[in-house]
Structure 1
Amino acid sequence: MGKLILCISSAGPLHKQVRDEFVESTGGRIVEGYGLSEASPAVSVGNLFGESPIGSIGMPFPGTEWGIWPVDDFSEGPICLGNPEDTKFGIENSGEICITGPQVMRGYLDIPDETADTLKKYNGKIWLLTGDIGFMNEDGTVEIRDRKKQLIKCKGYSVFPKEVEELLMKHPDITEAAVAGLPHEEFGEIVKAWVAIREDCDLSPQSIKEWAKNNMAPYKCPYSISIMGDLPKISY
């Protein structure tokens, strides 16, 4: 595949291990882009010609603006819009990514209530609440943490599945990981992990749990782990 120069990844988080193996196998570069059906065809893309850090979805296309809003209350106003006077950058100022631009839809057909929940007015512009949680860096780029609907609420803590997946994949014998929340009477939700491991190792769910206790915060540690041959893939 020596002629492959550049690819753009979207529709889900690009894990570092996947990117590194892709680059090693193909010799091409891969950067993350961002878009959604409500703002077709795209909103942003990472640096096509220079360094594009994992997790970064780059800068918005010309004519498009974005900002970070509180997850539960748009009316509180933006956390960060990337203006010169803004100071709330970085992961500690995470919130819902909202965008405005010519590609934003006018609304959902015949679903006025959902339209009203998804499109909000601020400073004379219509903003789309994307349902994605992320934060803005000082250079104006945005990094996605996870989907708002996939956020796990465990013992009062907010757990991002993508973050736990990336932590699990730092284990030298784990090749793939998927994480989701499952209902629990006492904790609200628990962290459930499905992992694929290397063929020549003898990892058990318990040994992975012990490793996790030493490599991530206690509330992020998977409560339940299933080991699988390969994780199911969905093609669109």
Structure 2
Amino acid sequence: MAIRYWPKGMPRFLDIPQTTIFDNLVVSARRYPQKIAIHYYGKQLTYAELLSEVEAMAGYLQKKLNVNKGDRVILFMQNSPQFMIAYYAILQVGAVVIPLNPMFTTQELQFFINDSEAKYAFVGQELYTKIAPLVKTTCLEYLVVASYFEYIDQPSSTILPPEVSTPPMSINESFVSLWMKALQFSLKPNQVVMNYKDLAVIPYTSGTTGRAKGCVHTHESVQANITGGSVWARLHSSSVNLSVLPWFHVTGMVFGMHIPIYIGATMVILTRWQRELAAKYIEQFQITHWINISTMVIDFLAYPNRSNYNLSSLQIVAGGGAPLPKVIGEKLKNELGLEYIEGYGLSETMAQSHFNPIDRPKLQCAGLPQFGTDARVIHPDTFEELGPHEEGEIIVHGPQVFQEYWRQPEETKKAFIKLDGKRFFRTGDIGKYDEEGYFFIVDRLKRMINVSGFKVWPTEIEGVLYKHPAIQQVCVIGVSNVRQGEAVKAYIVLHKDAKVTEQEIIDWAKERMAVYKCPRTVEFTEQLPMSASGKILWKVLMERENRQ
């Protein structure tokens, strides 16, 4: 396909560094040793200090815990200096980062530990009780537990999130090291021979059956989006980045952490989204770039005291996960003079495969394929390539595409097709492109529900709900939600004589799965629409919901 519009002065291809992600920090620390790398609720760390703590933690991993090259290490924390330090320490010793959603329950964590065969984990202390029962009962052997409070300068006038304001716990377990004690060993790691083709990180995504799959990324595939994202979003060493998207998610990871480190920019970190604090920090630190999800923009523009702050330093407001409603995009333009720059990507593409041009974006649009990326639209059954405005499955070939699904060769095989001698990833998303080469997401090929940028699979939720003794049949669908993009709704047929309320079902589910996966609404029904072969017709329920 031909891309008729391309930003002026922007190259079509970028050379990808043949170095590791960790090397990016080393270079920036050498260039800007005394520059502020991190602002964290009043605490500051320079690039020299950041590198020093990374090396000390890497030394502890290597010399005290015997973490070796290729070992998988879980990162189960929220945005914080410790998350960043742990991530780069894992990379320095040649190990592989396994970033996990802090909202996962103990039951969910068990799968990821076993699947990745991780023996070690960095854990935020507020999450300790979730993961501690899995030590020794799974392959997990050792935890390094961090208190975010230890990176706060006291006293702080800021109203801190509870997980940040809670002082360090005392944990007396043989399988636990406390963060500060680990750092105090001040061990220097031995150099590990690494290559840009080595594994770096395995973010997990959900598969078509609901079973999570690890997306294997090398340093090279991550570097492709680090370099590409920095150039496309006009990020540079003088930029100040509001890092608020969760870093366990690929977009937050790349734009909130990796890119700023690569270019030597300053990061203003929030552990939890707080719109009033975001406004205050934009003015205080002269923030220039804010990568987010649409729900944050909606909440920020609804903040009644926003006009009390000078937000003129903002140059770029961008994001993805769910389309920004047109009326919100227009409000952003009218009130702040900024156009929302939307992008598109998946865990398999390490964030962006597409991005709207900064100087010519289109609302509710995925944008143009990124540097060196070949994206097309095909018929999902025949694989016939389709033309402009024809709807089909989006496929992607590019340097940011993952290598394989972790130890799932059959799923990997199904995820790729060959076309014109190239290996294309099948995104599973239905889309189209216009005559200028801009892509638009139309629908989901599978039943995936998008809740505030998180992928939620109905089959997984149904599997949990079926365990409720009162439920006979259940069908889960996604319904439109102004704040979250989509929300989960469960249609339920109860067993005869069952006595339970809709709210009781919701509360029961919250104890067994991450909050964003839980049904927001439950509707009891006498029967579910069925096909002649006995399959539940979820599409009929979707159509019924859309008519309401």
Q: 2:323·2:365 contact (CA, 8 Å) conserved in 1?
A: no
Instruction: State whether structure 2 residue 379 is matched by structure 1 residue 78.
Output: no
Task: Report the 3-state secondary structure (helix = DSSP H, G, I; strand = E; otherwise coil) of the residue aligned with 2:405.
Answer: coil
Equivalent of 1:19, from 313, 319, 329?
A: 329
The whole-number CA distance in structure 2 between the counterparts of 1:115 and 1:179 is: 29
Query: Residue 104 of structure 1: SS of its match in structure 2?
Result: coil
- Aligned identity (percent) is 26
Task: Kindly provide the CA deviation profile for residues 77-135 of structure 1, in whole angstroms up to 9, marking residues without a partner as x.
Answer: 3333xxxxxxx321xx2111100011111101101111111122222111001111101
1:89 corresponds, among 366, 382, 388, to 388
Considering fraction of residues, name the structure with more helix. Answer: 2
Match of 1:7 in 2: 317
Unaligned 5+ runs, structure 1: 81-87, 153-160, 170-174, 193-218, 225-236
Contact (CA 8 Å) 1:150, 1:181: kept in 2 or not?
Answer: no
Structure 1 191/23 Cα, relative in aligned 2: closer, same or farther at 3 Å? farther
Runs of 4+ in 1 over 6 A off after TM superposition: none
Q: Which residue of 2 aligns with 1:131?
A: 428
Superposed CA offset, 1:124-148 (max 9, x none): 1110011111011122211111322
Q: Which runs of 5+ in 2 are unaligned?
A: 1-310, 450-477, 492-527, 532-536
SS in 2 for 1:21: helix
Q: What value does the CA root-mean-square deviation take over the aligned residues?
A: 3.1
Match of residue 371, structure 2, among 43, 53, 62: 62
Aligned to 2:347: 37
Question: For the residues of structure 1 that align with 2:348 and 2:317, how far apart are their CA atoms?
Answer: 23
138 and 181 in structure 1: CA distance in 2 versus 1, 3 angstrom threshold:
farther
CA distance in 2, matches of 1:62, 1:116: 25
TM-score scaled by length of structure 1: 0.61
In the TM superposition, what is the alpha-carbon distance from 1:182 to its structure 2 partner?
5.8
Instruction: Decide which structure has greater strand share.
Output: 1
Amino acid at match of 2:354: S
3-state SS of 2:410 partner:
helix
Contact 2:388/2:432, CA 8 A, preserved across alignment: yes
C-alpha contact 1:57 1:144 (8 A) present in aligned 2: yes
Structure 1: distance between partners of 2:333 and 2:530: 44
Query: In the alignment, is the contact (CA less than 8 A) between 2:322 and 2:485 conserved in 1?
Result: no
SS in 2 for 1:149: coil
Residues of 1 paired with 2:414 and 2:341: CA distance? 31
User: What amino acid is aligned across from residue 101 of structure 1 in structure 2?
Assistant: G
Report the counterpart of residue 529 of structure 2 in structure 1. Answer: 185
The structure-2 alpha-carbon separation of the partners of 1:177 and 1:77, relative to structure 1 and needing over 3 Å to count, comes to: closer
* 1:140 corresponds to 2:437: yes
Cα 1:222–1:36 shift into 2, 3 Å: closer
Q: TM-score, normalised by structure 2?
A: 0.28
Q: 1:209 aligns to what?
A: none
> Is the partner of 2:362 in helix, strand or coil?
coil
